[in-house]
Chains A and B, each alone.
Chain A
Amino acid sequence: MTSSTIAITRPAHAPSMTLLAWGGLALAGGLLLPWFRTGRDLASFVAGTTGIELLGSEPAVAAALVCALLSAILGMLKLPLYRRGQLALVTAAAGCTLVVLALVGHGQPMGPAPVVVFLGFLSLVGVGLSLSGYLRADAFIAASIVWVAVFVVLFILYPLWAVLQASVVVKGRLTLEVFGTVFQSPNFLMINNPYTPRDEIRIAVTFGAVVAAVSGLVAAVLARKLRPVVVWAAGSGIAGLLISALYLGFGAVRNSVLLALVVGVASTGLGFLFALLAERSQLPTRRLLGPISILPIITPPFVLGLAMVYLFGRQGFVTHSVLGMSTTVFSGLLGLSIAQILAYTPIAFLLLQGVVRAMDVALEEASETLGASNWYTLRTVIWPLARPGIANAFLLTVIESLADFGNPVVIGGGKPYLATEVFYAIIGRYNPNEAAVFGVVLLSMTLTIFLIQRYWVGERFYVTVTGRPTHATPRKLPRALDYAVTGVFLVWVLLIVLLYGSIFVGSVTKLWGFDYTFTLAHVKGLSPSGWYVFRTTASLSLIAALPSTALGFLIGYLVTRYSFPGRRALEFSSMLSFAVPGTVMGIGYILAFNQGTLLLTGTELIIIMAFVFRNMPVAIRSGVAAIHQIDRSLEECSTMLRAGSLTTLRRVVAPLVQAALLSGLVFAFVRAMTAVSQVIFLVTPRVNLSTALILSYVEHGSMGRAAALSSVLVVFMAVVIMIMYSVTTRIDARAGRGAQAKP
């Protein structure tokens, strides 16, 4: 006997209002609303396609509506609950299938009716799963699981599938042709350039051999054992070979990978130093780290690139006006890596600050009492403890760098990068298949790194947090190190201030590099179209922030508190957006939602959906973190006091995660406001976004306007974030008062 065979002894039951309501809703929506629209306009309905009018001509529609009717009737039949659930499951599943059939068969863009009917059936599937006992959860939870699963499949997995498909299917034919063409093009990767006299491969091999010999020798002197010598020689030899080959080569892969490696190493290194500074420094400058680490969140990613052009470009303030040079050396890999390092160091810093903070000082003290020197403690205690965290930060910054779209466009010097090639292949060369191939290559790189990060490094985090508070004060950095790191940090701060300053000054300067007179022309030039786009961006971001946060927290709640088939798959796919570069998701949306019944491109809705599912993983993470703070017995207690899961969520969980919810909401909003890589594919002249507009200003040489709009965005976001912080501090203080005031 298994759990599913538990029979119910009570013979008859009261009518099930849930079945009745959802069945009725599906029926009414299906009958009264139009099933199809004519085009991209969401409000353009095809006349004569309401359910009532289609009943005779569309058998699938009629059958689906019969299913809805049956579900509603089921709610009133005197049946045992589990039987009712099983029947509801069957009719609702049939209804879902029929709706899909009706839409696919017709091929026109769908109207509101199928959405209402389909969602109605999804809820009924959930209710059925719950009543039948196949899922040990109440109807709300079961329906939530079904809804969330369908949304994740439709808006995350399906677009990715479309990219994959477009890379190997050309005009209905399965082929690897496109891969072949792209892989052979010098734009993709060329190691041995036939137009240079040197043989790059030979140089790389020689370099690799030299590196291997040197590091083998060093290892031999230091370790005097065979194994480390072999490992070090082989490892550094291969690394040297690859890096020198990349350095000498050309093409998008070379540029992106080289960039990502440099940026990953530099940002992680700086991030770790700054983390030490924040946690262990004795100097007051460490207080600057908090506010500065927020900057990348409130800044569109390419603003630093834009500022780099201002300061170090051909007409740059530093390079031209101060130093009198006319150089393009900063436009390209060098400038780009500086811009990215500045942008991603705070991300690495935030990740590593946690690692440094979590290190148990007692371990270091133990090492010291055993007679170890500072250096020895660093090498044998701190470094092994921090290593997984550092690897984690490195991999994540590498993903960020590979996926970055805005900076390469602004300051990439016209060279190809994987993320930008995806865009130019589809928007410039009108070749979706080529774009898809670039997308697949980029995706496979980021996904590999993501998997390494998640399953290899992620599990090697040494948790030295024991739950009991250690009151030991953190050990201070040695004074010399403290001053040195603070020096580096101050240079970094200076650079940041200069860069942001140049954007603000640039927005009120007549013609940067030529004529530095004050003007308000750029700010005035934003009206009307600039302001209009800004308002559109703000309202779409706001609309998207709500479902994005709600969905994220709901998924976080479901995966932490319930076990159901597919839970891991759901968790993994909804976290995928961390690994999927925005440009790949962007082309996925173009390919998936550009025709047929799912036509959404050119509407506000597709941008909202892009925002929602792009920012959801962040909400999931903070949701999971917040829910882990709540003792599970609070929810169980609520359940035993007769509350359903919706009531429990509303009355117990939501009030306790209030602050996290609010900041989740604000971050979803801010991230949407600054998003660029995915939505750049989806904007149209009618539905445009600030970031895309800034990029097009840059493209058309209106740098002043680009700076003006960037400044407006940055200031607006800073204000929003500051308001949020003051509100959440107040919420936390209120929650804390109750907890602290123990007599």
Chain B
Amino acid sequence: MAVPATQLKQVLHQAASPVRFERVTKRFGTVMAVDDVTLKVPAGNLVTLLGPSGCGKTTALRMIAGLEWPTEGRVYIGDEDVTPLPAANRSVTMVFQAYALFPHLTVFENIAYGLRVMRRPHEEIRHRVGEAMSLVGLPGLERRAPAQLSGGQQQRVALARALVMQPKVLLFDEPLSNLDAKLRKRVRADIRMLQQDLGITSIYVTHDQSEALAISDIVVVMNQGRIEQIGTPTDLYRRPASRFVADFIGEANLLPAVVEDGTVRVGSYRFPYRQPGVATGAATLMVRPESVQVGVGGEGLPGRVQTAFFMGTYADYLIETEAGEVSVADPRSVDGIYPMGTEVRLLFSPTALYLLPPGA
């Protein structure tokens, strides 16, 4: 059955399936890699599993792939319980960390590998491989060896090899970690555009929070085998559910605060702030470095400049205050930064503040 060139997109779009984890636990010996995780990935979304190394994100991904098996719980792809199925029978493909291109095969044969394993007719293989290659933008490189390609091209071969199998779910295991910083930005944009264009369910593992924020529909923050928070990138940044998330997503100052009626007090600095559902009393206030204004005199939290660095587009301060150290990224003092030892006042812009739920 040959697929016309315009149809691969359609096929992929139709194949896209939701993925579901139901109380999945994975133990390696006594180590709890994934701890009672329940998770739903809607069809056609790009969901990122984000966390520090050893948080269980890769294990979770490998359980969807079928390269690891849960100790407890079940994994569903679409409506099907795939828990007992080996990797080969899951209609899931993966872009590996170092791409895992077969070094002894040409680009064409790498992409054709899965079709050859399935013993598809020669004509169909040629057609489908060509289609996948034009989809990821790899014209005329069929006969190259993987080692003759640049990092970005290798990445695209890996992607084409995964797409040509028309998977229900596409997995990415830290696919950008082998690229340099500039290329990483471009390739992640390419991946995102292609994913949205194809509407394919994608699960993406990374430890790089900026990558996760940039690329995802939904981010799942994991820590020590558990899910810390699930949300859109904005959600996570603006309203982190825990200190861990606040700290892990971007940079955050977590200051002890006292909530009173309509106002919040940090040290001696009191300002009007309301957040629904927060009771009065002691709380933790999250202040992003870029939402702090540094000034001399007037209102604000008093402090002393400890370190000051000129960073090009902003000035990076560490300021000692009565509520602890506060990190500041101040874009307005680009041409004149306050030197070390300056007594300053800090103002928080209320739109970017967030009171962490008690106990978080």
The chain A residues found within 8 Å of chain B, CB to CB, are 1-3, 6-9, 81-82, 133, 136, 138, 631, 633-634, 636-644, 647, 651-652, 655-656, 735, 738-743
| B84 and A639 contact, CB distance less than 8 A | no
Indicate whether A6 sits within 8 Å of B84 (C-beta atoms), given known contacts A633-B98, A640-B92: yes
| B103 and A738 contact, CB distance less than 8 A | yes
| A3 and B69 contact, CB distance less than 8 A | yes
CB within 8 Å of A: which B34-73 residues: 65-67, 69-72
| B94 and A637 contact, CB distance less than 8 A | yes
In the assembly, what is the distance between CA of A631 and CA of B104, in Å? 13
User: How many inter-chain contacts with C-beta < 8 Å in the A-B complex?
Assistant: 97
Name the segment of B142-150, B206-214, B255-263, B307-315 touching the other chain: B142-150
CB within 8 Å of A: which B140-171 residues: 145-148, 150, 161, 165
| A642 and B165 contact, CB distance less than 8 A | yes
CB-defined A-B contacts under 8 Å, sample of 7: A81-B84, A634-B100, A636-B87, A637-B96, A639-B87, A640-B88, A738-B148
Q: Which B residues touch A633, using CB under 8 A?
A: 96-98, 100
Residue of A nearest to B74 (CB): A6
Contact with A741, one of B90, B93, B147 (Cβ below 8 angstroms): B147
CB within 8 Å of A: which B281-330 residues: none
| A641 and B103 contact, CB distance less than 8 A | no
Closest Cβ of chain A to B206, distance in Å, is: 16
Q: Which label, helix, strand, loop or mixed, suits the secondary structure of the B interface?
A: loop
In the assembly, what is the distance between CA of A644 and CA of B117, in Å? 9
| B147 and A742 contact, CB distance less than 8 A | yes
Q: Which B residues touch A634, using CB under 8 A?
A: 100, 102
Task: Name which of B93, B97, B113, B146 has the most chain A CB atoms within 10 A of its CB.
Answer: B113
Q: How large is the interface on B (under 10, 10 to 19, 20 to 34, 35 or more residues)?
A: 35 or more
Residue of A nearest to B115 (CB): A641
In the assembly, what is the distance between CA of A401 and CA of B281, in Å? 82
| A638 and B113 contact, CB distance less than 8 A | yes
Q: Which A residues touch B331, using CB under 8 A?
A: none
Q: Which A residues touch B116, using CB under 8 A?
A: 651
Task: Name which of B67, B71, B98, B150 has the most chain A CB atoms within 10 A of its CB.
Answer: B67
Residue of B nearest to A1 (CB): B72
Q: Which A residues touch B83, using CB under 8 A?
A: 6
Q: Which B residues touch A643, using CB under 8 A?
A: 88, 113-114, 117
Q: Which B residues touch A655, using CB under 8 A?
A: 104
Contact with A642, one of B97, B118, B161 (Cβ below 8 angstroms): B118
Contact with B104, one of A644, A656, A741 (Cβ below 8 angstroms): A656
B124 at the interface (CB under 8 A from A): no
In the assembly, what is the distance between CA of A735 and CA of B116, in Å? 22
Closest Cβ of chain B to A632, distance in Å, is: 9
A1-B72, A633-B98, A651-B116 known; 8 new pairs, CB 8 Å cut-off, are A7-B84, A631-B98, A633-B100, A637-B94, A643-B117, A651-B117, A741-B145, A742-B147
CB within 8 Å of A: which B77-109 residues: 81, 83-84, 86-90, 92-94, 96-98, 100, 102-104
Closest Cβ of chain A to B62, distance in Å, is: 8
| A743 and B150 contact, CB distance less than 8 A | yes
Closest Cβ of chain B to A645, distance in Å, is: 9
| A741 and B148 contact, CB distance less than 8 A | yes
Indicate whether A740 sits within 8 Å of B88 (C-beta atoms), given known contacts A634-B100, A655-B104: no
Contact with A639, one of B72, B81, B88 (Cβ below 8 angstroms): B88
Q: Which B residues touch A641, using CB under 8 A?
A: 93, 113-114, 117, 161, 165
| A640 and B66 contact, CB distance less than 8 A | yes
| A9 and B81 contact, CB distance less than 8 A | yes
Q: Which A residues touch B71, using CB under 8 A?
A: 2-3
Q: Which A residues touch B89, using CB under 8 A?
A: 642
In the assembly, what is the distance between CA of A640 and CA of B167, in Å? 10
| A642 and B114 contact, CB distance less than 8 A | yes
| B67 and A639 contact, CB distance less than 8 A | yes
| B94 and A640 contact, CB distance less than 8 A | yes
Closest Cβ of chain B to A287, distance in Å, is: 31
Closest Cβ of chain B to A449, distance in Å, is: 33
Q: Which B residues touch A647, using CB under 8 A?
A: 117
Residue of B nearest to A641 (CB): B114
Closest Cβ of chain B to A617, distance in Å, is: 28
| A742 and B148 contact, CB distance less than 8 A | yes
| B102 and A652 contact, CB distance less than 8 A | yes
| B87 and A735 contact, CB distance less than 8 A | no
| B93 and A640 contact, CB distance less than 8 A | yes
Indicate whether A743 sits within 8 Å of B148 (C-beta atoms), given known contacts A640-B93, A644-B88, A656-B104: yes
